[in-house]
Structure 1
Amino acid sequence: MIAPVSLRERVLAELAAAFANVPRPVRFTAASHPGDDEREAREALLQRRGRDKLDLDDIAHPWDDPILSCTAPAKAWLLPTLARLALAQAPGGDWYAAQLVQVLYSGFSQNELYCFCNAAQRQAVAGWLGYLLEQEASRIDAHGLADEVLRCHALWSARPA
């Protein structure tokens, strides 16, 4: 007998399927200027860790999140992993989902990742955000993110004109 799939697993599987054809970027971050050691360190970390080995210790630093330096294609390639890590994090302390919502929402309709994604990818992201709103409401409230997550969900749920 096949074990039932949880809602969380289904949402993450839909996100992974929507982004499965995004190729691994040759370079994760925008080209750095000479002497930009921090950006090069972030690039090296992401090259070393990739999608399968990336963990919260690598990214859960609001003041130094390597994902903020990534190009839109790199964020798209990493997104299923980032979403999984955000949901896997135990309650208490900083919550990586808050950082990820910022990545998804910054610039609103001009957000580089939003503009990069196709309709199916946007729908999968909206599904993940909907899951957050329904299943993680207490953590959203505890982090004062309700308005931001609602606006982010509205953006990613919108049908292209």
Structure 2
Amino acid sequence: MPTADQASPMPTDAQILAAIDAAFGDCPRPEHFTNYRHCCECAEHDELLCSRDRSTLQHADVGNAGWDPICFCSPEGIAYYLPALVRFALDEPGEHLDWYGWQLVFHLYQGAAYNVFLNHCDASQRQAVAALLAHLVETRAELLEMEADDVLRAHEIWSTHGAQGA
């Protein structure tokens, strides 16, 4: 993230979405999103994700941290759905669902440098995610609350890996 004396104009939500769309918009839709033969829960999550696409996935489909299909999703599936997930994170918190940003941060930081999604992404995708994380810190600090340290650590690993390339 730039220091105060290196400050550059903060990107808008629309610019962040455009960067995510550019980096992940061409990711193919997998035939399956989870290891659907593993158990009933994986099969149920796979059925839901297979019944949606980027434009029909809803915050309510993924917004319950206790029943989140993205926790079981393959890296290819997360890459496919990331533009939609980022849109949920940039939306205002709803009346019936928590703000999605903290769940997205969890998915991006889980496992730190061993995060399977991080290691699946190429350098341009990692840079787009790092820009998203910096944007969340700059524009959604009040919503991040206790997760601020995780966001900063996530930004560091996505930035570091992004600089190293895929």
TM-score normalised according to structure 1 size: 0.89
Instruction: Select which of 10, 20, 39 maps to 1:15.
Output: 20
Which residue in 2 is equivalent to 1:156? 158
Residues 1:119 and 2:123 are matched in the alignment: yes
1:90 to partner: Cα distance: 2.2
Match among 94, 104, 126 for residue 100 of structure 1: 104
Structural mapping, 1:47-62, within 5 Å: 47-62=50-65
Gaps of at least 5 residues in structure 1 are 1-5
Matched, 1:87 2:84: no
Deviation at 1:89, TM superposition (A): 3.4
* 1:55 Cα deviation from its structure 2 partner: 0.8
Query: What amino acid does structure 2 have at the position aligned with 1:148?
Result: D
Q: Deviations over 1:44-95 (max 9, x none)?
A: 1111112110111100011110001100111111111101111113267622
Matched-pair contact (CA < 8 Å) for 2:75–2:117? yes
Q: Distance in 1 between matches of 2:69 and 2:12?
A: 29
Supply the AA of the counterpart residue of 2:19.
E
Q: Secondary structure at the match of 2:30?
A: coil
Question: Following superposition, which runs of at least 4 residues in structure 1 exceed 6 angstroms of deviation?
Answer: none
Q: TM-score, normalised by structure 2?
A: 0.86
Match of 1:3 in 2: none
Q: Is the 2:36–2:46 Cα contact (8 Å) retained in structure 1?
A: no
